[in-house]
Amino acid sequence: MCRDERERPNEPNQEISVKNAELKSRKDAATPRGVGVMCDFYAARAENAELWDIEGRRVIDFAAGIAVCNTGHRHPKIVEAVRAQLDQFTHTAYQIVPYASYVELAEKINQRAPGDYPKKTAFFTTGAEAVENAIKIARAATGRPGVIAFTGAFHGRTMMGMALTGKVAPYKLNFGPFPADVFHAPFPNPLHGVTTADSLKAIEHLFKADIDPKRVAAIIFEPVQGEGGFYPAPAEFVRALRKLCNEHGILLIADEVQTGFARTGKLFAMHHYDVVPDLMTMAKSLAGGLPLSGVVGRADLMDAAAPGGLGGTYAGNPLAVAAAHAVLSIIDEEKLCERAVELGDRLKGRLSALQAEVPQMADVRGPGGMVAVEFCKPGTSEPDADFTKRVQTRALERGLLLLVCGVYSNVIRFLFPLTIQDAVFDEALAILEDALKETVGVAA
């Protein structure tokens, strides 16, 4: 039975022993400000695309834990799979005592990742770990140190992740120096005047001014930039990167941490392109809420690191691996790739119909269910972060949780669970429309 056919759960009727305001005060005293927290309420329960706070307030979740819950909160098949694994064992450290489920999951990823070459997969814990290990593999395989990333990119909060990330605030502030031999080129962004030709010219300039291409191990990019603003990589740009890498012996790494597992209407976003990467990172919705990430790539490259060079104490945790097996089954059985396209088209259609009434709406974009709307001051391409924040705030006041992204914080990204019930989705779109119209009225 698909999620859409189930009855929506009743709102929890539990005695409230603590208030949001009290917990916020305790949070401020007990945890550092560097762990930024967006909401002023605290979760008590979640189901599919809805969550309730400790005071019983219901919110429709269009954040999904930052694209982690493509299969919704607490999908019954994921809960069942994790419970079954709990009855077996919870941890051995795969590199000490291995287990079949890890191997079986690697086989599934190898089969389903883009590319018809032999592949291997290694599992880790976080998206940043996956990126770090992809760079390690690329350097081990090529014997080269250099890496090229792009402006607007987000690749994690570790030192290498921050070095690769193309957004300073808040991720890089006061944390340098960063690892050397990391260079950035502008990512194509037609709305802000950056063409594919501009990006490629900038890479050629790096080869002339900053690093010999023979010293570059990899070029890493997101098929659709996540934190950077949901900008899809143009097909001609990806083809050109592949050609450039082939020409200079550079590896092409696709960072699919946010784009993977049906979000864009394909299992992986790279399935939208007619070229394939050498290595690919994944995380977020891989395990439906449990911490699991991975790197998949050409078998010869994946074997470049010496035994013991890859891994981690919690890497490929058996509970998360069990959840990941369930996630892949759910995507197939509930046709979530098709569902992503359907829901994304409905959202983009609703937003596009409002553009005449919302002059700040400069662009509506994104493949499948990876949709964003960008706000600029009317008649210009000047980002309007204040308007964006007001829309987000008004929506949340009415019970819809939205995320802001983009280098200028002027983009709202929509990361609803792909299992969301139609009635809840329609309710969310009505809230969004009201929030947009009300914010326009205030701005006017």
Burial class (CB in 10 A: 0-12, 13-18, 19+), 358: buried
Question: In the structure encoding, which two tokens stand for residue 65, read together?
Answer: 């834990």
What whole-number distance in Å separates Cα of residue 350 and Cα of residue 347?
5
The list of the chain residues with pLDDT below 50 reads 1-10, 12-13
Best CA proximity match to 403, nearest among 160, 154, 168: 154
Task: Supply the angle between the helices 318-333 and 336-354 in degrees, to the nearest 10.
Answer: 70
pLDDT of 2 = 43
Task: Report whether 58 contacts 11 (CB < 8 A).
Answer: yes
Which amino acid is located at 194 in the chain?
Answer: V
pLDDT of 441 = 78
What whole-number distance in Å separates Cα of residue 162 and Cα of residue 182?
10
pLDDT of 4 = 47
Q: pTM score > 0.85 for this model?
A: yes
**Beta partners for residue 234, in sequence order:** none
Domain 79-333 is in which class? alpha beta
Phi-psi region of 334 (alpha: psi -120 to 50; beta: other; left: phi over 0): alpha
**Beta partners for residue 149, in sequence order:** 184
Q: In what order do the strands lie in the sheet with 411-414?
A: 361-365, 371-375, 411-414, 403-405
Q: Which residues of 49-74 are buried (b: 16+ CB within 10 A; e: fewer)?
A: bbbbbbeeeebbbbbbbbbbbbbbbe
Question: In the structure encoding, which two tokens stand for residue 61, read together?
Answer: 């979740």
The listed CATH number (3.40.50.1820, 3.90.1150.10, 3.40.50.2300, 3.40.50.150) that belongs to domain 3-67+335-443: 3.90.1150.10
Strand ranges (E), 152-303: 182-185, 216-221, 251-255, 279-282, 293-298
Is omega for the bond preceding 177 within 30 degrees of 0, making it cis?
A: yes
Chain segment 351-388, per-residue pLDDT in tens:
999 999 999 999 999 999 999 999 999 999 999 999 99
Q: In what order do the strands lie in the sheet with 293-298?
A: 119-124, 293-298, 279-282, 251-255, 216-221, 146-150, 182-185
Best CA proximity match to 415, nearest among 227, 167, 155: 227
Phi-psi region of 9 (alpha: psi -120 to 50; beta: other; left: phi over 0): beta
What whole-number distance in Å separates Cα of residue 40 and Cα of residue 397?
11
Chain segment 124-142, per-residue pLDDT in tens:
999 999 999 999 999 999 9
Percent composition of the chain: helix, strand, coil (DSSP 3-state, to 5): 40, 20, 40
Provide the 8-state DSSP code for 48: B
**Beta partners for residue 405, in sequence order:** 411
Q: Please state the domain extents for the chain.
A: 3-67+335-443, 79-333
What whole-number distance in Å separates Cα of residue 206 and Cα of residue 217?
14
